[in-house]
Amino acid sequence: MKTRLGFVSNSSSSSFVVIANNIANNIDGFPTEIVLGEDGETEFGWEFTTHNDFYSKLNFAVLQTTYSDRDGKKWYDMIQSVLRSEGIEIIGNKMSDEYSLTANPDFIFSYIDHQSNAGEDANIEIFDDEDTLRRFLFSEDSCIEQGNDNV
């Protein structure tokens, strides 16, 4: 019999977020204009990896907005508000799901695996408030932990 402690998922993927109590000391080093998907990870699936870079966390947060019909717009507006407060503007988006890729092959495939996305109320604590989102995005101590339970 197998006993599991801590985070458990009945999905083959098991991504979760870690939100630090601090933010980056030097936000001046961040870009002022961003095209989503050009930098960082855009596929959050089964790999065993950790993403603590700004671009991957931003891509993840924006992708989460696409999985929620109820809160997606509110969350996207929160992302823009937090970025603008730091002098950062989203000027484009190259992320796309598999269906939209046929319309524009220059776009970048992007997704969050099932049971790790907002469609199933997973990893949405990053949107608890603007301070939480700011700490998630700008702290190197915040991250997305990816993995799976097929080991």
What is the tens place of the pLDDT at every residue in 28-86? 678 899 999 999 999 998 888 999 999 999 999 999 999 998 999 999 999 999 999 99
Q: Is residue 14 part of a domain?
A: no
Average of per-residue pLDDT across 83-111: 82
pLDDT for position 46: 80
Higher pLDDT, 24 or 73: 73
Asked whether residue 13 is assigned to any structural domain, the reply reads no
pLDDT at 7 over 90: no
Note whether residue 99 is domain-resident.
Answer: yes
Considering only CA atoms, which of 147, 141, 67, 149 is closest in space to residue 111? 67
Q: Give the model's pLDDT for residue 18.
A: 92
**Cβ atoms within 10 Å of 90's Cβ, excluding its own:** 16
- pLDDT band at 106; cut points 50, 70, 90: confident
Question: Number of folded domains in the chain?
Answer: 1
Which domain range does residue 128 map to? 33-146
Q: Indicate if the pLDDT at residue 11 is higher than 60.
A: no
The Cα–Cα gap between 107 and 36 comes to 10
Residue 82 lies in a domain: yes
Phi-psi region of 141 (alpha: psi -120 to 50; beta: other; left: phi over 0): alpha
End-to-end CA distance of the chain: 15
Residue 22 falls inside a structural domain: no
